[in-house]
Amino acid sequence: MFTPVILAGGSGSQLWPLSRQNYPKQFLALDGKSLGTMFQRTLSRLDSLELSAPLVVSNEEYRFIVAEQLRQERRNSRRIILEPMARNTAPTIALAALEAQRDGDDTLLLVLAADHFIEDQAALCRAVEVAALHASEGKLVTFGIKPVRAETGFGYIRCGESTGKGGQQLLAFREKPSQEVAEEYLASGQYLWNSGMFMFRASRVLAELKRLRPEMLDNCHHAMLHAQEDHYFLHVQAEPFASCEAESVDYAVMEHTVDAVVVPLDAGWSDLGSWASIWEVGQHDAADNCIEGDVLAFATSNSLIQSNHRLVATIGVEDLVVIETKDAVLVARKSDCQQVGEVVRQLQTDRRSEYVSHSLVNRPWGHYDTIDRGERYQVKRITVQPGESLSLQLHYHRAEHWVVVTGTAKVVCGDTEMFLTENQSTYIPLGVKHSLSNPGKVPLELIEVQSGPYLGEDDIVRFEDRYLRDILES
């Protein structure tokens, strides 16, 4: 029996425009195989093994996405641990290990990234069983991917003698190499790609952190000691956690312990770190194109083309990436996909909304889609799931009109409570307390027209909220 620890807090900026700050790649279905999001597939790929409910580590911003995708899969989590800020994998794993021990359990922890692709799930399960043998004996195990090319985008692990149980001694970690060095690594047969997946007993990794990074462990202990719980979320205290050095567990622990073991893994692994890697794992047609959505491709080859909202047509091109979303289009040579980060940094510098979120924004009660906007007005299509409700709130700078399209709405406006059905509408004046809920059994859809001098999402004053959100969320 072991406990999966799913790391689900990354940003995935290299996969813009599909991956956004508020909805990153781990929560998307990226490879067009309709088997759930990357996070959901990470949860399900170990189902053939005996394991306990997972610990999920994410951040405050993604907590309702995590909870909703767990609900869609009808899965329970042991806990959803919420980091107040990113501090790399060593502090993150410390939090998970402390949480496991808080429950009085010194379980084996299997640490997995939520955004990796693994084609051969049976091979992964076999490797996990090998890793569990070593971890049960006090070893700290990492998984090394058998390289298929001289890759410069990954770190490497130098391997030593066999352990006799399917593992190898871990001799050293190597940074991302030059092309020449990567070719030497590949030719030597002594190196594996660093997957960023680990397995060890909770007490064992905590003991090594105490020996090697005592201040980090002490900060994590205090952050967990004063954490706040609500529902299935554990909100880690910010101040002590912020004092942790941002270090990977590779550098903080694995490079310095004498008990490190690497288990080779040949399972069609990819970190899906660029659009080129999405093309590699996708389903290809006769022209070696990977196509998703409404696409017409003429004299097109070796390309990745995704349409999410409208027809995309290509003629006489090759080796391209074309990604269409409702509010942005990316066109790039496959060989230049690593430069997408430069686009994202420019969007961030310019404070453009396309860096932060899509026009469709998920919320714990459902979602909204911005249909149109202009000076002093904005139009949204709002969907509220059955039994859910928006907070009791008011706005200082905007008024709202609501028109019900389908379903039943329960509306509170000032001292008035009313029920609205299809084609009925109401007006919410500026500065009046109001709330919206769906008492029915089918999704409630309505059109909201906002008008006023300022239409930002931070113009919300909350009085009651079942989701315990901060004031700046909507």
> Whole-angstrom Cα distance, residue 434 to residue 415?
9
Q: What pLDDT, on the 0 to 100 scale, is given for residue 471?
A: 38
How far, rounded to the nearest angstrom, does the alpha carbon of residue 376 sit from its chain's CA centroid? 34
Q: Do 454 and 324 share a structural domain?
A: no
> Whole-angstrom Cα distance, residue 273 to residue 307?
20
* Structure letter (DSSP) for residue 176: P
Q: Do 436 and 365 share a structural domain?
A: yes
> Does residue 229 have a pLDDT over 60?
yes
CA atoms within 13 A on the CB side of 276: 12
> Does residue 334 have a pLDDT over 90?
yes
Provide the CATH number for the domain around residue 429. 2.60.120.10
Task: Give the residue among 436, 433, 360, 453 at the shortest CA–CA distance from 402.
Answer: 436
> Does residue 304 have a pLDDT over 90?
yes
Beta strands 377-384 and 55-59 are: unpaired
Q: Do 262 and 298 share a structural domain?
A: no
Mutual angle of helices 214-225 and 202-212, in 10-degree steps: 120
Q: What pLDDT, on the 0 to 100 scale, is given for residue 468?
A: 63
Q: Is residue 257 part of a domain?
A: yes
Task: Give the residue among 198, 191, 124, 133 at the shortest CA–CA distance from 167.
Answer: 133
Q: What pLDDT, on the 0 to 100 scale, is given for residue 26?
A: 93
Q: Do 256 and 140 share a structural domain?
A: yes
User: How much of the chain is in helix, strand and coil states, percent to nearest 5?
Assistant: 25, 35, 40
Q: Is residue 371 part of a domain?
A: yes
Task: Give the residue among 82, 40, 363, 114 at the shortest CA–CA distance from 233.
Answer: 82
Q: Is residue 91 part of a domain?
A: yes
> Whole-angstrom Cα distance, residue 185 to residue 190?
7
Largest CA distance in the chain: 76
Domain boundary among 251, 270, 289: 270
- Residue scoring higher pLDDT (76 or 444): 444
Q: Do 279 and 254 share a structural domain?
A: no
Task: Give the residue among 415, 315, 46, 95 at the shortest CA–CA distance from 227.
Answer: 95
Are 280 and 264 spatial neighbours (Cβ–Cβ below 8 Å)?
Answer: no
Radius of gyration of the chain from its Cα atoms, rounded to whole angstroms: 24
Phi/psi of residue 135, nearest 5 degrees: -65, -35
What confidence tens digit (pLDDT) does each residue in 175-227 have?
Answer: 889 999 999 999 998 999 999 999 999 999 999 999 999 999 999 999 999 99
Calculate mean pLDDT across residues 445-464. 91
Lowest mean pLDDT among 29-38, 130-139, 362-371: 29-38
What confidence tens digit (pLDDT) does each residue in 24-43 have?
Answer: 999 998 865 557 899 999 99
pLDDT-derived band at 470 (thresholds 50, 70, 90) equals low
> Whole-angstrom Cα distance, residue 55 to residue 43?
10
> Whole-angstrom Cα distance, residue 93 to residue 216?
11
Residues 6+ apart with CB under 8 A from 35: 29, 41
Peptide bond before 17: cis, by omega within 30 degrees of 0? yes
Q: Is residue 96 part of a domain?
A: yes
Calculate mean pLDDT across residues 415-438. 96
Q: Is residue 53 part of a domain?
A: yes
CA angle 39, 248, 274 (to 5 degrees): 50
> Whole-angstrom Cα distance, residue 114 to residue 313?
33
- Residue scoring higher pLDDT (104 or 52): 52
Per-chain mean pLDDT for the chain: 91
Q: Do 260 and 336 share a structural domain?
A: no
Q: What pLDDT, on the 0 to 100 scale, is given for residue 464?
A: 82
Q: Where are the beta strands (DSSP E) in 214-327?
A: 228-230, 233-235, 260-265, 269-270, 290-292, 295-298, 304-307, 312-315, 320-324
Q: Do 332 and 215 share a structural domain?
A: no
Token digits of residue 410:
């329960």
Q: Do 227 and 293 share a structural domain?
A: no
Q: What pLDDT, on the 0 to 100 scale, is given for residue 473?
A: 43
Q: Which residue, chain included where needed, has tokens 């288990």?
A: 263
> Whole-angstrom Cα distance, residue 67 to residue 468?
14
Q: Do 44 and 163 share a structural domain?
A: yes
pLDDT-derived band at 360 (thresholds 50, 70, 90) equals confident
Task: Give the residue among 16, 21, 202, 194 at the shortest CA–CA distance from 116.
Answer: 194
Domain boundary among 343, 377, 400: 343
Lowest mean pLDDT among 30-39, 141-150, 168-177, 270-279: 30-39
CA angle 85, 90, 92 (to 5 degrees): 45
Provide the CATH number for the domain around residue 19. 3.90.550.10
Q: Do 265 and 282 share a structural domain?
A: no
Q: Do 166 and 241 share a structural domain?
A: yes
Q: Do 317 and 298 share a structural domain?
A: yes
Q: In one letter, which amino acid is 184?
A: E
Token digits of residue 426:
């109401």
**Could you tell me which residues are beta bridge partners of residue 291?**
305
**Could you tell me which residues are beta bridge partners of residue 419?**
410
Q: In one letter, which amino acid is 98?
A: L
Count of domains for the chain: 3
Q: Is residue 453 part of a domain?
A: yes
> Whole-angstrom Cα distance, residue 407 to residue 364?
18
Mutual angle of helices 202-212 and 89-102, in 10-degree steps: 130
Domain boundary among 248, 270, 292: 270
> Whole-angstrom Cα distance, residue 474 to residue 468?
11
pTM of the model: 0.84
Q: Is residue 472 part of a domain?
A: no
Q: Is residue 245 part of a domain?
A: yes
Q: Dihedral of the CA atoms 196, 27, 153, 140 (nearest 10)?
A: 0
Task: Give the domain extent around 436.
Answer: 359-464
